[in-house]
Amino acid sequence: MGYVRRVNATSPEATPGRIVLLTTSHRVAPGLLSWPAWQALHAADRVLCADGTHPQLPYLREAGIPVDEVSPTAEELVEACAGGHTVVVVAMGEGEPALTDGLARLAGSGRVSMPELELLPASYDLPGARLLDLVQVMDRIRAECPWSSQQTHKGLAKYGIEEAYELVEAIEEGDRDELREELGDVLLQVVFHARIAEEGGPDDDDAPFSIDDVAAGIVTKLIHRHPHVFGDETATTPEEVKEHWLRTKAVEKQRESVTDGIPIGQPGLALAAKLASRVRTAGLEVPLPAGQGIGYELLALAVRSEAAGVDPEAALRVAARAYRDAVRAAEGVDG
């Protein structure tokens, strides 16, 4: 109790003062505080911080701001403000819930002349800042989880396929809550693989790379393949954008054929549609191979579908769902 001067906060002569709850983000480099935050800190009569390891403390002290490493109760904080004093409480994240709850109870009691309370964000998260949390969580899981620490790229490959299909299903179902969750699951696969890649591989050529390297690579690729956005070229239609993309991609990959880079292992209808798209975009006239059997019939159907702007895989899934519902109806199963 010795760190505050006790004043009868209910006495007529007591001026309630001011409490500034200064919130900071661990996702912003320490020392980078807003100008209003620095003004409040320099003008304060007392600066308190319950966490002695708070990353901002060394920078505050370097700026000549004394900080008391204490954790006051709501009553003690109100008493510290008595007489018109301003007390700044340096918090992390969303603030100090126990302290603010205590202040709310005091205010509701009507027994105490409450100081002015201000919530002042000292630093703000930039868009994408929570991705830093994901990277940190993944680091810890990789180091401490018995299952995650043993995973490899090959072992995780099947999960990448599963999560991609579940994402597509959420999109087609139009379920936005499910979409958000499935996007997170796909993102997890990216971060997990990047974390494994940081450790390198068994061969000398398996140089390690990190999630930052992955992000830097896609940023460079996006800028290079969008000269109409980041360069001097122009594109006014989606078709022109696609032409830009394919042209720059062909130069990057030094491909000899429009079919280069198409994964043959993808589902058959999707593969046929992708081949047809490449042929059509390149302006080639390639007749379909003559043959007998269901495969050639499906190929022709997929090419026709792509030319009409219809994804044959998606169309077949819609039809398959209708078939599933008909089966369940015949079985007398609800839903």
- 149 and 66 fall within a common domain: no
Q: Judge whether 171 and 186 are in contact, CB under 8 Å.
A: no
- 97 and 115 fall within a common domain: yes
Q: Judge whether 272 and 303 are in contact, CB under 8 Å.
A: yes
- pLDDT tens, position by position, 230-262: 988 888 888 888 877 877 777 777 778 889 889
Q: What angle do CA 97, 129, 193 make, to 5 degrees?
A: 120
pLDDT band for position 4 (50/70/90)?
Answer: very low
- pLDDT tens, position by position, 108-160: 888 888 999 999 998 888 888 889 899 999 999 999 999 999 999 999 999 99
Which of 121, 151, 171 is the C-terminal boundary of a domain? 121
- 73 and 161 fall within a common domain: no
- 155 and 184 fall within a common domain: yes
Asked whether residue 243 is assigned to any structural domain, the reply reads no
Cα(21)–Cα(281) distance, integer angstroms: 59
Asked whether residue 189 is assigned to any structural domain, the reply reads yes
Asked whether residue 260 is assigned to any structural domain, the reply reads no
Asked whether residue 106 is assigned to any structural domain, the reply reads yes
Query: Which residue range is the domain that position 175 belongs to?
Result: 127-212
Average confidence score pLDDT of the chain: 88
CATH number at residue 94: 3.40.1010.10
Which of 58, 86, 121 is the C-terminal boundary of a domain? 121
pLDDT band for position 292 (50/70/90)?
Answer: confident
C-alpha neighbours within 13 Å on the C-beta side of residue 123: 19
Cα(186)–Cα(195) distance, integer angstroms: 14
Q: Which of 26, 36, 220 is nearest to 119 (CA)?
A: 36
- 101 and 38 fall within a common domain: yes
Asked whether residue 32 is assigned to any structural domain, the reply reads yes
Q: What angle do CA 67, 68, 71 make, to 5 degrees?
A: 130
Is the pTM value of this prediction over 0.75? no
The percentage of the chain sitting over the pLDDT mark of 90, rounded to a whole number, equals 57
- pLDDT tens, position by position, 179-224: 999 999 999 999 999 999 999 877 657 789 999 999 999 999 999 8
- 194 and 141 fall within a common domain: yes
- 173 and 188 fall within a common domain: yes
- 91 and 109 fall within a common domain: yes
Overall number of domains in the chain: 2
